[in-house]
A and B are shown apart, each in its own frame.
Chain A
Amino acid sequence: MRPALRAELLKITTVRGQWLGAAIATLALPAVSLLVAATGGVGAGDTVTSGAATGSIAGLLAFGIWAATVAAGEYAQQTMIVSLMTVPRRSVLYGAKLAAIGMVAAGGALVSAVTAWLVVWAVLPTGAHHTGEPFALVSVVLAIVAVSVLGMAVGLLSKSPAASASIVVVAVLLPKAAAGLLGGLERWVVGASPGTVITQAVGGAQLPHSQMFPGGAAAAALTMLLVATAVALGGAVALLRRDG
């Protein structure tokens, strides 16, 4: 699987739009957090850590759309034919794609989260906010990896960059937007959605009790990862069964 993984990483680095997309996605979270902090958008009850996470939706969307378009682009550009000819074991090909997307997303998310924390810490007035628990920003990394994996799987399932990007946007934004329509499911669906998982982990922002996941932040993160895994398995089954 190692050669296939190397090839998948090389695919990203040899197309400017793909590595540039990952770089822009990495900058999205700290840029938005900087904007919020610099314009006085960090509330009195917020910590540096929760302030750093204010741009997390931008990061989630950017990485999710990037992963979806990279994966679906294999079909849109017909390069899947060469991918299947050179790595015809589809389980290996899928595993390599998953690992490559996950590695780039995890690395980018880590850089994003650390940069956002440092930027917000530097911008906020000294002593005006507690630092909070910086380790909670691990939730940002987990959420971005989960959304990226979901984006990749949806990209392979739909074969369409536009459709898969739209699905990622809906998956990230709809749970919160449609919270009022979910009734008793609200705390389960919204609570385990990527943006809310981060909010629960970093604290600070006002989150309605009805959107708090019943088992707490760790259980919410676990549920989010399980959903991403289920979608990833769906993508794997589709790739294994369908014609190239």
Chain B
Amino acid sequence: MTPGERAAAAIVVEDATKVIDGVTVLDGVSFSALPGRVTAFVGPNGAGKTTTLRAILGIDHLTSGRATVGGRPFAEHRQPVRVAGALLTPDAAHPRRTARGHLSVVAASNDLPGSSVDAALELVGIAGIAALPVGQMSLGMRQRLALGTALIGDPAVLILDEPHNGLDAGAIRWLRVVLRALADGGRTVLLSTHLMAEIEAFCDEVVVIDQGRIAMAGPLGHFIGGASMEERYLDMVEGG
């Protein structure tokens, strides 16, 4: 990566290594995600996708290497939810707290105005059930709330770990349109998913991780060539 590319990248992971109980789960992982692009982050179960995303957000510590968002470690930003919004699991809201209560806590933690709560509820389409305890919401509704949590600060970077889980066909299309529009507006979207058709439909870049190592990183068109995303991906992680 040239210094210019490094400066432009919103997410940079450099030589990230993570060892847990003697097992190397990330082994020198390096890649970047650029503004204005939707970057698909794919790999088999247990390949290290979620660990990488958690390391980018500072939730897990790297054994060595570095991960930055907007040029510095995520934890060093003063209003982190304005810099990056993330969805790692739909079950990260207290089941006894209402959707509005959950978003109010997130807004308060970063000094966001109360109107941001209403805007996020409207954006993800759950304003009508904002008073419902999260534990009484369906998986799809909880996933929308988690998306609202990620989007509440109108961040420049979005990090999403399998956001399609639990969404119905309409919501999957809605998410595709929203993420594409966010990227076209100059935001950085890093998306971990197993839905190859979705990647083909609207992603620009692909990063493939397998057994803790980056197997390939580059533009989607170069990766798939004349084949399908699924074909190329399975060739790489199963045939390689």
Contacts and interface: CB of A to CB of B under 8 A. Distances in A.
A136 interface: no
A14 interface: yes
B59 interface: yes
B101 A14 contact: yes
B93 A82 contact: yes
A4 interface: yes
Interface residues on A, range: 20 to 34
B116 interface: no
A181 interface: no
Contacts of B95: 77
A4 B59 CA distance: 17
Interface residues of B, number: 33
B75 A81 contact: no
Contact of B88 (A10, A16, A85, A243): A85
Contacts of B59: 81, 84-85, 88, 243-244
A39 interface: no
B136 interface: no
B110 A3 contact: yes
A14 B59 CA distance: 24
B94 A15 contact: yes
Interface string A1-16: 0011011001100111
A86 interface: yes
Contact of B92 (A10, A16, A17, A78): A78
A7 B108 contact: yes
Given A14-B101, A78-B91, A84 B108 contact: no
Nearest to A81: B92
Given A86-B81, A88-B74, A88-B80, A15 B109 contact: no
B97 A3 contact: no
A87 B101 contact: no
Contacts of B88: 81, 85
Interface in B45-100: 54, 57-61, 74-77, 80-81, 86, 88-89, 91-98
A185 B98 CA distance: 50
B94 A77 contact: yes
A89 interface: yes
A59 to B, nearest CB: 25
A88 B104 contact: no
A16 B58 contact: no
A159 interface: no
A79 interface: yes
Contacts of A90: 75
Nearest to A88: B75
B93 A17 contact: no
B106 interface: yes
B61 A243 contact: yes
Contacts of A86: 80-81, 106, 109-110
Contacts of B110: 3, 86
Contacts of B17: none
A82 B149 contact: yes
Contacts of A83: 109
Given A4-B109, A77-B94, A243-B61, A10 B80 contact: no
B96 A3 contact: no
Interface string A85-120: 111111000000000000000000000000000000
Contacts of A78: 89, 91-92
B75 A3 contact: no
Given A78-B89, A84-B57, A3 B109 contact: yes
A72 to B, nearest CB: 13
16 contacts: A3-B109, A3-B111, A10-B108, A14-B101, A14-B104, A15-B101, A79-B93, A82-B92, A83-B109, A84-B58, A85-B80, A86-B106, A86-B109, A88-B57, A243-B59, A244-B59
Interface of A: 3-4, 6-7, 10-11, 14-17, 73, 77-79, 81-90, 241, 243-244
In order of increasing CB-CB distance, the 9 nearest A-B pairs are: A14-B101, A244-B59, A7-B109, A88-B75, A243-B60, A7-B108, A3-B111, A81-B92, A86-B109
